[in-house]
Amino acid sequence: MRTPMLTVLGLLASTLTAGCSLLPGAATDTCVDWIRFESPQQQFEDAALVVIGKPIRTDGETKIYGYRARIHLVEVEVVLKGEPTAGPLRIASTPVTCGQTYPDGDPLDGNQRMLIHARNQDGEWFTQTPAQGAVPFESGTPLPFRTG
C-alpha cells in the first residue's frame, strides 16, 4: 500500500516541478538578447537583405523562438543588398521575446515606405531585430550607410 502512494506522490511532484508549460495557456519564454547595432553601416553589413519597400498587407504567421511572428507582403521598390524572390516579398516582423510579441506595435503595420533590414532563418525572411529591422523611410531621404 505504501509503494502506490509514494508512486502517486512522486508523479505529482514531478508534474508540479516540470514547469509552467503543463498548465493550460502557459508557455515557457525563450528570451533572446538582441544585438544593438552601433551604426547604420554596421547594421547594413550584418543584414542578408536590405530593401526599400512598402508593406501592403499581412499574409499569415510563422514562428521564431517559440513566438508567433506576423508575415507581411512587401512591395519592393529598391533592393540595396541581397536577393529576394520575385513578386511581393514575404517578410516576418521579428517579435520581441520574453513577454508581449509586439509591445510597441508591429513595425511593418504602418502601410508606409520603409527601409527594411532582414535575415533569413530556415528559408524565411525576418526583420533583422525587433527594434532595428524596419523604419519609415520617406522619398528623398539619403541612405544612412554606404552600399558599395
- Give the pLDDT confidence of 60-90 residue by residue, as tens digits: 999 988 889 999 999 999 999 999 988 899 9
pLDDT tier for residue 7 given thresholds of 50, 70 and 90: very low
Residue 57, domain extent: 40-136
Would residue 60 count as lying in a domain? Answer: yes
HSE-up of residue 39 (Cα within 13 Å, Cβ side): 6
Q: How far apart are CA 94 and CA 100, in angstroms?
A: 12
Other beta carbons within 10 Å of 71: 19
What sign has the CA pseudo-torsion 100, 104, 44, 77?
positive
Provide the number of structural domains found in the chain: 1
Let me know if residue 5 belongs to a domain: no
In a domain? residue 8 = no
pLDDT at 29: 62
Residue at 141 is within a domain: no
Residues 101-139 pLDDT 10s: 888 889 999 789 999 999 999 899 999 999 999 999 999
Residue 93's domain is classified under what CATH number? 2.40.50.120
- The span from the CA of 148 to the CA of 144, in Å, is 13
Query: Cα separation of 113 and 107, whole Å?
Result: 12
Confidence (pTM): 0.78
Residue 31 counted as domain residue = no
Nearest residue to 59 via CA among 47, 70, 44:
70
DSSP 62: E
Position 92 pLDDT exceeds 50: yes
Beta strands in 46-113 (DSSP E): 49-64, 67-81, 89-92
CA distance 74 to 83: 14
Does residue 4 belong to any structural domain of this protein?
no
CA separation for the pair 39, 48 (Å, rounded)? 16
Assess if residue 143 is contained within a domain: no
Q: Is residue 20 part of a domain?
A: no
